[in-house]
């Protein structure tokens, strides 16, 4: 349970980081 929660939170932060990177890249174009 705890490990799954840790993996889920890590994946969420990774997804948010990727989305932010993509948005910033699109805005800079």
pLDDT at 3: 94
Q: What is the pLDDT along the chain (29 residues), one digit of tens a residue?
A: 699 999 999 999 999 999 999 999 999 98
Distance CA 14, CA 6 (A): 12
Domain interval for residue 7 = 1-29
Distance CA 17, CA 4 (A): 20
pLDDT at 29: 82
pLDDT at 18: 97
DSSP string, 1-29: -HHHHHHHHHHHHHHHHHHHHHHHHHHH-
Total structural domains within the chain? 1
**The two three-digit tokens of residue 10, written as one number:** 């890590």
């Amino acid at each position: 349970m705890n490990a799954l929660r840790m993996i889920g939170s890590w994946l969420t932060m990774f997804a948010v980081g990727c989305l932010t990177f993509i948005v910033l890249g699109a805005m800079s174009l």
